[in-house]
Amino acid sequence: MDTLTRMRAFIDVVEAEGFSAAARKIGRSKALLSKYVRELEDELGALLLNRTTRQFSMTEAG
């Protein structure tokens, strides 16, 4: 997937305040959004989100 799609996924997750809400909003799976954000982090070489099982927070890079 291209970088813009990954960036859009990251923005959707942050704006929706979670992967599940973002997935419902845009009609994609939570797993796919998580994959896109992870790929973006790999591409940028920076952790953008601190994830736990129930919540996330943005890192300084995010």
CA distances from 7 to 11, 17, 51, 56 (A): 6, 15, 17, 17
CA distances from 21 to 10, 24, 43, 56 (A): 13, 5, 24, 13
Q: What are phi and psi of 2, to 5 degrees?
A: -85, 165
pTM of the entire predicted model? 0.83
CATH number for the domain harbouring residue 9? 1.10.10.10
In this prediction, residue 27 carries a pLDDT of 95
- In tens, the pLDDT along 1-48 reads 699 999 999 999 999 988 999 999 999 999 999 999 999 999 999 999
pLDDT value at 57 more than 90: no
Count of the separate structural domains present in the chain:
1
Domain that holds residue 24: 3-58
